[in-house]
Amino acid sequence: MQTRVIIVNPKKPEIKKIEECVSILRRGGIVAFPTETVYGLGADGLNPNAIKKIFKAKKRPADNPLIFHISNKDDIRKFAKNIPSNAEKLIEKFWPGPLTLVLKKSSLIPKIATGGLNTIAIRMPSHKIALSLINSLGNPIVAPSANLFGKPSPTLATHVLDDLNGKIDAIVDGGNSVIGIESTILDLTTSTPTLLRPGKISYLELKKILKKVEYHPSLLGKKTKIIKVKSPGMKYKHYSPNAKIILIEGNIQNTQKKTQELIKKFKSEKKLVGIINNKSIKKTPFIKLKFIGTTKKIIASNLYKSFRDLDEQKVDVIIMREVDNSNLGFAIMNRLKKAASEIITV
Ligand code: AMP
Ligand code: MG
């Protein structure tokens, strides 16, 4: 299969190009496109055969359900049922935007998209390209991140090409996905709303709207045996580049010392090391440096790109220090912990 790359203006999507993409979706094809969080791999959400192609192209396990994207807040009533008043409040405040809600699904939603669950994960994105694709298709678009299963999510069209060239019908190149990490997922089918995946919209922001919000135990690092997996994505290793990631937690002094020790060890093993966000390390033929910013917003935006860039430089190991765990930092740390092969606390 030849994958077409269609360049679209993210601020003012050209109608003709959007229609071209939508005609592919209508025929049951799959098209990657930018959202404000990461690039998604889209299919017509009401076409089971098209949805099947997403699982195949990504090599994604069939029990890992997909997020539905809508372009109009009211459409939630078509695709979800028993919608609690909490949902209305959250939608009012955060949609369009990076908040996904888990609700009871309506009978319109094919089970293949929800991994057999009777719930639906749904959000309204704010990216203009995403909105115009959904609008023009007239159906919701299911879109998991447009990467091969287990790899870092793509934030540029070139990342999608690296993973899926020849496996999907088209890619809309609309520049970078600014937020850089996936949406916050909140389950509203439990008696207390439960945070399943942290994202840009933080626990505290949700707490301001809802009286009570719980963290899913897996987010707090508790070794609970998840009997009924609420968000099946949780049980898989995620977001990992080819290089092994070592995450170091602890104060600056101790983490610096540990980083130096590790560099020495890897040098003796003739391994190429990538270092993210550590200005005290000097570049050598064995060390590739990557500075991705000091604010959490910029770190989130550049995190996955830095993994992919270091993979391209063929590093064997990536070393990164923890970031402050509050608000967006909690989401960054969640991704880092899932991506890491080793977490060292010093
Ligand atoms: P991705 O779009 O690749 O980031 O993955 C979508 C995430 O949404 C996965 O972690 C899924 O487990 C989660 N998800 C999708 N549908 C549901 C659902 N009905 N209930 C709980 N989690 C869901
Ligand atoms: Mg994903």
What's the rounded Cα separation, in Å, for the pair 174 and 262?
A: 39
pTM of the model: 0.95
Same domain, 24 and 137: yes
What's the rounded Cα separation, in Å, for the pair 299 and 319?
A: 15
DSSP 16-68: HHHHHHHHHHHTT--EEEE-SSSEEEEEETT-HHHHHHHHHHHT--TTS--EE
Domain extent, residue 26, equals 4-220
Q: Which atom of ligand 1 is nearest to the CA of 100?
A: 8
What's the rounded Cα separation, in Å, for the pair 31 and 146?
A: 9
Average pLDDT, the chain: 94
For residue range 50-59, list pLDDT tens digits in order: 999 999 999 9
Contacts of 294 (CB under 8 A, 6+ apart): 277
The residue whose CA has the least distance to atom 3 of ligand 1 is: 144
Question: Which domain CATH number covers 177?
Answer: 3.90.870.10
Residue from 196, 235, 338 whose mutation best tests the ligand 1 pocket (most atoms within 8 A of CB): 196
Picking from 86-95, 141-150, 232-241, which range would have the lowest pLDDT averaged per residue? 232-241
What's the rounded Cα separation, in Å, for the pair 222 and 295?
A: 28
What's the rounded Cα separation, in Å, for the pair 148 and 145?
A: 9
Q: Which atom of ligand 1 is nearest to the CA of 40?
A: 2
- What is the model's pLDDT at position 221? 77
pLDDT for residue 226 is more than 70? no
pLDDT for residue 43 is more than 90? yes
Q: How far is the CA of 153 from the centre of ligand 2 (A)?
A: 6
- What is the model's pLDDT at position 229? 45
pLDDT band per the 50, 70, 90 thresholds, residue 235: low
Same domain, 209 and 255: no
Beta strand 99-105 with 244-249 is: unpaired
Q: How far is the CA of 318 from the centre of ligand 1 (A)?
A: 27
- What is the model's pLDDT at position 237? 61
What's the rounded Cα separation, in Å, for the pair 155 and 40?
A: 9
pLDDT for residue 141 is more than 90? yes
- What is the model's pLDDT at position 231? 52
Q: What are phi and psi of 14, to 5 degrees?
A: -70, 125
Same domain, 34 and 163: yes
Same domain, 35 and 173: yes
Could you give the C-alpha distances from 301 to 58, 93, 99, 172, 326, in angstroms and in order? Answer: 23, 23, 17, 19, 16
Q: What are phi and psi of 197, to 5 degrees?
A: -140, 125
Please, are residues 32 and 5 in contact by the beta-carbon 8 Å criterion?
no
Residue 230 is assigned to a structural domain of this protein = no
pLDDT for residue 44 is more than 70? yes
pLDDT for residue 121 is more than 70? yes
Same domain, 260 and 170: no
Length of the chain: 346
Q: How far is the CA of 151 from the centre of ligand 2 (A)?
A: 8
Q: Return the CA Rg of the chain.
A: 20
Residue 239 is assigned to a structural domain of this protein = no
Q: How far is the CA of 226 from the centre of ligand 2 (A)?
A: 20
- What is the model's pLDDT at position 240? 86
For residue range 300-337, list pLDDT tens digits in order: 999 999 999 999 999 999 999 999 999 999 999 999 99
Residue 235 is assigned to a structural domain of this protein = no
For residue range 245-293, list pLDDT tens digits in order: 999 999 999 999 999 999 999 999 999 999 999 999 998 999 999 999 9
pLDDT for residue 212 is more than 70? yes
Same domain, 106 and 188: yes
Same domain, 148 and 294: no
Residue 281 is assigned to a structural domain of this protein = yes
Residue 228 is assigned to a structural domain of this protein = no
| Count of the separate structural domains present in the chain | 2
The residue whose CA has the least distance to atom 23 of ligand 1 is: 231
Residue from 58, 64, 147, 229 whose mutation best tests the ligand 1 pocket (most atoms within 8 A of CB): 64
Same domain, 96 and 210: yes
Same domain, 212 and 250: no
Residue 231 is assigned to a structural domain of this protein = no
User: How many other C-beta atoms lie within 10 A of the C-beta of residue 288?
Assistant: 19
For residue range 160-210, list pLDDT tens digits in order: 999 999 999 999 999 999 999 999 999 999 999 999 999 999 999 999 999
Please, are residues 31 and 1 in contact by the beta-carbon 8 Å criterion?
no
DSSP 202-237: -HHHHHHHSS--EE-GGGGT-----SS-SSGGGGS-
Range 102-126 burial, b when 16+ CB lie within 10 A, else e: bbebeeebbebbbbebebbbbbbbb
Q: How far is the CA of 194 from the centre of ligand 1 (A)?
A: 14
Residue 237 is assigned to a structural domain of this protein = no
The residue whose CA has the least distance to atom 17 of ligand 1 is: 121
Q: Which atom of ligand 1 is nearest to the CA of 64?
A: 12
User: How many other C-beta atoms lie within 10 A of the C-beta of residue 16?
Assistant: 8
Same domain, 195 and 253: no
Residue from 58, 67, 79, 189 whose mutation best tests the ligand 1 pocket (most atoms within 8 A of CB): 67
Same domain, 284 and 161: no
pLDDT for residue 224 is more than 60? no
Residue 212 is assigned to a structural domain of this protein = yes
For ligand 1, residues with CB inside 6 Å are 64-67, 102, 114, 117, 119-121, 144-145, 182, 185, 196, 230-233
Same domain, 211 and 314: no
pLDDT band per the 50, 70, 90 thresholds, residue 223: very low
